[in-house]
Amino acid sequence: MLHNNLLQPSSIAVIGGSDHLDHLGGSVLKNLLDQEFKGDLYVVNPKKDEVQGVKSYRDASLLPQTDLAIIAIPAQEIWPVIEELIKSKGTRGFIIFSSGFGELNKEGRDLERKITTLISSAGGSLLGPNNIGMINRHYAGIFTRPLPVIDKKGVSFISGSGATAVFTLEAAQQIGLRFSNIFTVGNSAQLGAEDILEHLDDTFRQGESSLVIMLYLESVKNASKLLEHAISLRRKGCSIVALKSGVTDKGNAAAASHTGAMVNSDLFVQALFKKAGIIRCYSRYELITIAAILQATQQKPKRFAVVTHAGGPGVILTDTLTQNGLSVPDLSVAHQNALKQLLYPGAATANPIDILATGTADQLEKVLDYCERDVKEIDAVIVIFGSPGLGTVTEAYKVIHQMAQRSSKPVFAILPSVVNVREEISNFIKKGNLAFNDEYLFGTCLAKVMENSVPSGQLFKIKPKQYSNIRTLAREFPNGFLQADQVYAILQAAGIRCAQQQVVSTETELLKISGSLNYPVVQKVVGPLHKSDIKGVIIDVTNVSDLLHNFRKLKKIKGATAVLIQEMIKGKEIFTGAKREAGFPPLILCGAGGIYVEALKDSESSLSPITRKDAVEMVSKLRIKPILDGMRAEAPCNLEALYEVLQKVSELMESIPEITELDINPLMLNEDAAIAVDARIKIEKQDENTL
Amino acid sequence: MLHNNLLQPSSIAVIGGSDHLDHLGGSVLKNLLDQEFKGDLYVVNPKKDEVQGVKSYRDASLLPQTDLAIIAIPAQEIWPVIEELIKSKGTRGFIIFSSGFGELNKEGRDLERKITTLISSAGGSLLGPNNIGMINRHYAGIFTRPLPVIDKKGVSFISGSGATAVFTLEAAQQIGLRFSNIFTVGNSAQLGAEDILEHLDDTFRQGESSLVIMLYLESVKNASKLLEHAISLRRKGCSIVALKSGVTDKGNAAAASHTGAMVNSDLFVQALFKKAGIIRCYSRYELITIAAILQATQQKPKRFAVVTHAGGPGVILTDTLTQNGLSVPDLSVAHQNALKQLLYPGAATANPIDILATGTADQLEKVLDYCERDVKEIDAVIVIFGSPGLGTVTEAYKVIHQMAQRSSKPVFAILPSVVNVREEISNFIKKGNLAFNDEYLFGTCLAKVMENSVPSGQLFKIKPKQYSNIRTLAREFPNGFLQADQVYAILQAAGIRCAQQQVVSTETELLKISGSLNYPVVQKVVGPLHKSDIKGVIIDVTNVSDLLHNFRKLKKIKGATAVLIQEMIKGKEIFTGAKREAGFPPLILCGAGGIYVEALKDSESSLSPITRKDAVEMVSKLRIKPILDGMRAEAPCNLEALYEVLQKVSELMESIPEITELDINPLMLNEDAAIAVDARIKIEKQDENTL
């Protein structure tokens, strides 16, 4: 819960407010005044009685009761001020711009912790330190510019970086994107991006709250909280788009050195966003373009008319849309004939509809009207309209504005002449419109929006299974990779079928069992790790004589302690696995198995818990899926068995926290069953208390 | 050869020149005047004696001798004017803006052809019709705006679309990209993009000509010409970046409806660009960003320092570079300590080097100096410097400007504050600098530039082989797919090893050969096309009794005419193929074979002729490559045998033009050899004369 003093303060004190507009305290004061904060405004400045026309107190102790403090004084001077405000002034909202805290050194980290504890224990809310502030309909508590156009229906923006937020707002202003509120969390000493998301979820009001949330994150600190509230917001009708930097290892290092943030490997983030129904992007321009598309319409159009007065960009856009799974359907001959009546000879009407460079605003209007009213096979219209630098576009932009306002089908405008008609584009935007300028960026973003879907069902939670024997075993196993028989025991307990196997150490033992074996069998060396690499696996053994011969050969391998005899299972080689990372649910993987794991890199992953639906989705995205379905005359594999294994691996990971890594490779999948043929499990025991 | 009258006219007549700046003829006249054309300028306008201060003639016949005519009158009025100019005025350069030609209808196409023939027969050069003109150091024969900054060292731009050219020039102006010349080809009645490229190649002068060529194409009309001159220019030190639209089938349709252009499937284009060493991009913004990077430096830096005053964009850029194969290496402790001395506490020095929001221009200068002079592990520096809207960036931009001018290592500037410091960015650009604004776009483009390489060697040409028997055969075969024995004969003649096989129709025949077979063998039904789908292939047949049993089964399949007995070859299944498309050399393909062809879509292609180097490159990019190299304990396949097959397929396609399609699938590749096990060849005979 964010304290209302932070969200809707009736009084604000700028600690360190000044007349220098280049200083943080001076700049935020100007923004508060420019944005016309309606409550009481104070400044604390030891040298002034008035700053920018606002009453200034020489010391915080002299302040009247104050809801919110915006702090822009050096880190080392902050502690007594906060103590005073908490204890005597009823202040419960805090924004700290100052740096020199956790991102700097240990002293800073300690001070940050001390301040956070004080504010938290008083029930207050702290944004920062080391941020640029926040802005909403009530006040502009931000020291940077440009100030965005604040619009109740605008986008909510949560940013983990101040500079990125500024540059994003600048880019947003150029396309006309509006904002309802912006939060920058800086070091996230108390409130992180996840907490702001929770706040947006908790305070969401249908028909009133913003339906688009934009995130810039450098780390994910609480994946479960993010997941819970993202899914909840998605199910309330919100869309979320996120730019998460620190993608690569190198990028991660940079992110860590930047904010001292905890780092997550990117696959977990990818799976998290997928599960949460968050659209992921990789650049600031993608971020605002996707947010703008989401803001423009709640509809999910798939079939587009491209109306252009210039061939080239129309073709580029058509390429982009169709290559990304959207449709620019050919219009029927009847429609084309009708359109030809409206246009000059030579106009293209198949879609893209090219009204020609000489096409008029009046023709444009008629075409847009026709597309809306008569062309049932079209869900939305994209208009491309620039200027070669002669003639005027004012009338055409008026037409697009009117259509964007009144059309029942979404109308998007791509206005590429960012130099020739800069002024006209600016006027178009001022009327509340969005104006994109790059047809390729727009097309790729549109496709990302349209392929995104609301997570189905409530967040499914697995009740940990008891596996009573295994639970006890897991506590007893030493850390590290388990022995083959231990792995076998765990998989069996989890309900995952394993190939029948026996371990023999001597020739006598071997001969004793040789009569009861179900030939052909497989022989594998026990001891060394990468068995195939050292010719430690012999398949298709059909008789006792070969069995004995192979046994002797395998026992000679360096490190060999015994030989495993396993039933030989036919089928397609699948790989399934699981990995744990702090702060995240376990990640479950599935892909092409055997030696193909490394070569084909054909794998999909999803965060636990895995429902049958999740399993189906993972498998459906594998490139080897058609092979599992049975190509040519082959019988299809039992995919249900595979889905079950994936769910059981998920259950196992949720139930036995000591398992940090699990690989089943190969899992043999055939017409009948999915059978684990080789597997590895790594144990890392945690504190007893955390179990 | 482009006529000099088009390139460096000493006199220009604007046919249809007027005082209306919104009309093509008025606008181009203004541009010629604004850009200060040094020669004689005339206008032909039936109603005026003077237009925009320029002498106007009431009729073309009254003109003095004129090198170049720029024509902006309706299509139907053009013919007599051109006749007059060619016959009486010595005019040999023509730019026709007017539309209403080939892009409109048959009459237009005929008129276009008639005009082109007249101009060509007089040895003249024609640009257009239906274009926006051209611009070089001598004159601005273009009717659109903005006029680019013309700079001898700027980019050469050839565009297949006028509007795209305009929008590209607008975007280019925003980042400071300069141009040496721009050609727009419109309908390409006489001069197409390939001809302009040839011209740039023929007239290339080391140290004088532009080293960067930018192409926007909607079709490739002459792949061989494009290939020849692109390779030649690349080997002279030029770089070429191209945006080719009409990528998808739908996109193709749009391109075709736009200019009536001939359409090529995209794989051919992709292979063409690869062979020619052309960097391919997909948007206007990519096009100018890549061109700008190419213009900025001839060096090929791989290791970058990212110097930033804002963490977020630094991380995004680092992500982008490292994910795209470039390096942002960690700096040594010694370097970091040295940098720390230069910066405020808390600055990050590992690389990205974050000089903090409070970092000064002086610190920036010292860091850039240090990176250039002392950090050997860095080849180039990227500076990110925006503004939160307070303070000034003037000094910092001065520092970047000076470093960009004097540094021995390339210095790139990303200036993201497109609103807050628009003016300062504009001033920075006016000094001749480039200013990028999107770190992600910049990073992806930089990677494309750095991975591009000059095609090695001269364009290799295959002398068609005689294959005397096959040559004759190919003429006799009917069109369509060949019979198995014909395919076998052709592959054998081409030197491609095939599995030994015999076709038997009766049980008697079968029994006769059964004794001499080298078991195990494979039996395949003859007749039906997709044999595996109908259980028409039986492998691993080890004895006569099974052979007979299978024969009877196979003969019962609908459409079966006989049974093929083939030696059973072990190995990895490979697919190789070839396809022909009008206007292009044959395309040679190679990939994962067998039933995996469709499932894995793991294939690479290259335009014929294929050298060993081409074959090596194709195979090296396959995902299954590690499998061919021998994974785990497996022996490596004989890759040389595969490379040879690819070259032989290429030879075959070059030698026998009747083959339009060829598939070898599977080609079994093992330790010893590459052996064709199944293959299809499609014949389409051409006119005797074309052979």
Using CA of residue B394, residue B399, residue B400, residue B401, what is the dihedral sign? positive
Question: Which B-chain residues 372-431 have CB contacts (< 8 A) with chain A?
Answer: 386-391, 416-420
**Separation CA A576–CA A564 (nearest Å):** 22
- Shared domain for B192 and B261, answered yes or no, is yes
Q: Reduced to 3 states, what is the DSSP secondary structure of residue B82?
A: helix
Chain B residue numbers with beta carbons less than 8 Å from the beta carbon of A247 are 319, 323
- Shared domain for A98 and A11, answered yes or no, is yes
Q: What is the mean pLDDT of residues A546-554?
A: 92
For residues B520 and B541, is the Cβ–Cβ distance under 8 A?
yes
Residue A143 lies in a domain: no
**Separation CA B71–CA B85 (nearest Å):** 11
Structure letter (DSSP) for residue B60? G
B475 membership: H or E segment, kind and range: helix B468-476
Helix axes of B284-296 and B439-451: crossing angle, nearest 10 degrees:
60
pLDDT at A458: 58
- Shared domain for A379 and A508, answered yes or no, is no
For residues A436 and A293, is the Cβ–Cβ distance under 8 A?
no
- CA-based nearest residue to B305, from B376, B361, B359, B363: B376
**Separation CA B293–CA B274 (nearest Å):** 19
Residue B491 lies in a domain: no
Q: Which two tokens stand for residue B420?
A: 């807050």
Closest Cβ opposite residue B312 in set A245, A418, A599: A245
CB atoms under 10 Å from CB of A284, counted, come to: 27
A180 vs A517 pLDDT, higher one: A180
Residue B492 lies in a domain: no
Residue A67 pLDDT > 70, yes or no? yes
Residue B257 pLDDT > 50, yes or no? no
- Shared domain for B230 and B278, answered yes or no, is yes
Q: How far is B228 from chain A (nearest CA, A)?
A: 26
pLDDT at B250: 59
Torsion angle of the four alpha carbons A274, A280, A282, A283, in this order, in degrees rounded to the nearest 10? -170
- Shared domain for B420 and B543, answered yes or no, is no
* Greatest extent of chain B over all pairs of C-alpha atoms, in Å: 102
Closest Cβ opposite residue A318 in set B254, B322, B352: B254
Q: What is the mean pLDDT of residues A586-604?
A: 80
Residues present in chain B in total = 691
Chain A residue numbers with beta carbons less than 8 Å from the beta carbon of B350 are 253-254, 257
Last residue of a domain, one of A296, A317, A339: A296
Residue A601 pLDDT > 80, yes or no? no
**Separation CA B439–CA B288 (nearest Å):** 14
- Shared domain for B384 and B417, answered yes or no, is yes
Q: What is the pTM of this model?
A: 0.92
Residue B140 lies in a domain: no
pLDDT at B265: 76
If one counts the domains in chain B, the total is 5
Q: Please indicate whether, in this complex, the C-beta atoms of A164 and B312 are within 8 angstroms of each other.
A: yes
What's B268-329 look like in SS3?
HHHHHHHHHCCEEECCHHHHHHHHHHHHHCCCCCCEEEEEECCHHHHHHHHHHHHHCCCECC
Give per-residue pLDDT as tens, A350-384: 999 999 998 999 999 999 999 999 999 999 999 99
Chain B residue numbers with beta carbons less than 8 Å from the beta carbon of A391 are 22
Mean pLDDT, rounded, of chain B: 91
Residue B373 pLDDT > 70, yes or no? yes
Residue with tokens 């033992």: A509
Residue B263 pLDDT > 50, yes or no? no
Q: What is the mean pLDDT of residues A158-176?
A: 96
Q: What is the mean pLDDT of residues A3-12?
A: 97
- Shared domain for A350 and A220, answered yes or no, is no
Q: How many CB pairs under 8 A join A and B?
A: 342
- B100 vs A: CB within 8 A: yes
**Separation CA B440–CA B438 (nearest Å):** 5
For residues B324 and B302, is the Cβ–Cβ distance under 8 A?
no
What CATH number is associated with residue B26? 3.40.50.720
Closest Cβ opposite residue A258 in set B167, B171, B348: B348
- Give the burial string for B583-620 (b: 16+ CB within 10 Å, else e): ebbbbbbbbbbbbbbebbebbbbbbbbbbeebbeebbe
pLDDT at B50: 97
Helix axes of A544-555 and A507-514: crossing angle, nearest 10 degrees:
150
Give per-residue pLDDT as tens, B470-494: 767 667 777 888 887 888 889 988 9
Q: Please indicate whether, in this complex, the C-beta atoms of A438 and B285 are within 8 angstroms of each other.
A: yes
Residue A217 lies in a domain: yes
Q: How far is A553 from chain B (nearest CA, A)?
A: 15
Residue B620 pLDDT > 90, yes or no? yes
Q: Which of B167, B326, B384, B619 to mutate to test the interface with A (most CBs of A within 10 A)?
A: B167
- Shared domain for A291 and A328, answered yes or no, is no
**Separation CA B169–CA B149 (nearest Å):** 10
**Separation CA B358–CA B343 (nearest Å):** 10
What CATH number is associated with residue A556? 3.30.1490.20
Q: How far is A545 from chain B (nearest CA, A)?
A: 22
- Shared domain for B93 and B186, answered yes or no, is no
Chain B residue numbers with beta carbons less than 8 Å from the beta carbon of A314 are 254, 258
**Could you please report the per-residue DSSP string of B109-123?**
HHHHHHHHHHHHHTT
Comparing alpha-carbon positions, the chain B residue that sits nearest to A389 is B145
Residue partners of B106: CB distance under 8 A and separation at least 6: none
Q: What is the mean pLDDT of residues B427-445?
A: 97
Chain B residue numbers with beta carbons less than 8 Å from the beta carbon of A164 are 310-313, 316
pLDDT band at residue A256 under the 50/70/90 scheme? very low
Report the range of poorest mean pLDDT among B86-90, B441-445, B480-484, B651-655. B480-484
Cα end-to-end span (Å), chain B: 29
Q: Which of B166, B243, B286, B525 to mutate to test the interface with A (most CBs of A within 10 A)?
A: B166
Give per-residue pLDDT as tens, B506-545: 999 999 998 888 888 999 998 887 777 778 888 888 888 8
Q: Which of B307, B323, B542, B632 to mutate to test the interface with A (most CBs of A within 10 A)?
A: B632
Residue B469 lies in a domain: no
Give per-residue pLDDT as tens, B626-635: 889 987 667 8
- Shared domain for A584 and A679, answered yes or no, is yes
Question: Percent of chain A beyond pLDDT 90?
Answer: 74
- A1 vs B: CB within 8 A: no
Question: CB-hemisphere CA count at 13 Å for B285?
Answer: 21
**Separation CA A549–CA A315 (nearest Å):** 68
Residue with tokens 């107190």: A57
**Separation CA A421–CA A414 (nearest Å):** 13
**Separation CA A354–CA A348 (nearest Å):** 5
CA A146 to chain centroid, in Å, comes to 27
pLDDT band at residue B458 under the 50/70/90 scheme? low
What CATH number is associated with residue B642? 3.30.470.20
Residue B457 pLDDT > 80, yes or no? no
**Separation CA A3–CA B343 (nearest Å):** 38
Residue B690 pLDDT > 50, yes or no? no
A445 vs A581 pLDDT, higher one: A445
Do β-strands B304-308 and B353-354 pair in parallel, antiparallel, or remain unpaired? parallel
Residue A267 lies in a domain: yes
Residue A261 pLDDT > 70, yes or no? no
What CATH number is associated with residue B360? 3.40.50.261
Residue A247 lies in a domain: yes
Report the range of poorest mean pLDDT among A118-127, A639-648, B263-272. B263-272
- Which ipTM did the prediction report? 0.92
Give per-residue pLDDT as tens, A665-678: 889 999 999 999 98
Residue B467 pLDDT > 90, yes or no? no
Residue with tokens 């720029």: B70
A268 vs B468 pLDDT, higher one: A268
Q: Please indicate whether, in this complex, the C-beta atoms of B346 and A312 are within 8 angstroms of each other.
A: no
pLDDT at A258: 36
B363 membership: H or E segment, kind and range: helix B361-374
Question: Percent of chain B beyond pLDDT 70?
Answer: 94
Compute CA distances B13 → B26, B91, B144, whole Å: 12, 10, 18
For residues B193 and B135, is the Cβ–Cβ distance under 8 A?
no
A536 vs A166 pLDDT, higher one: A166
Last residue of a domain, one of A104, A131, A158: A131
Its domain, for residue A165, covers 148-296
A52 vs A529 pLDDT, higher one: A52
Q: Please indicate whether, in this complex, the C-beta atoms of B284 and A416 are within 8 angstroms of each other.
A: yes
Residue A594 pLDDT > 80, yes or no? no
Last residue of a domain, one of A430, A451, A472: A451
Give per-residue pLDDT as tens, B159-209: 999 999 999 999 999 999 999 999 999 999 999 999 999 999 999 999 999
Question: Which A-chain residues 450-489 have CB contacts (< 8 A) with chain B?
Answer: none
- Shared domain for B560 and B605, answered yes or no, is no
Give per-residue pLDDT as tens, A99-154: 999 999 999 999 999 999 999 999 999 999 999 999 999 999 999 999 999 998 89
Q: How far is A313 from chain B (nearest CA, A)?
A: 6
Q: Please indicate whether, in this complex, the C-beta atoms of B282 and A440 are within 8 angstroms of each other.
A: yes
- Shared domain for A443 and A507, answered yes or no, is no
Closest Cβ opposite residue A595 in set B249, B388, B632: B632
Q: Which two tokens stand for residue A148?
A: 């965005």
pLDDT band at residue B90 under the 50/70/90 scheme? very high
CB atoms under 10 Å from CB of A20, counted, come to: 13
Question: Percent of chain B beyond pLDDT 90?
Answer: 73
- A236 vs B: CB within 8 A: no
Q: If you average pLDDT over each of A331-340, B552-561, B572-581, which comes out highest?
A: A331-340
- B559 vs A: CB within 8 A: no
pLDDT band at residue B550 under the 50/70/90 scheme? very high
Give per-residue pLDDT as tens, B558-586: 989 999 999 989 899 999 999 888 888 99
Residue A555 pLDDT > 70, yes or no? yes
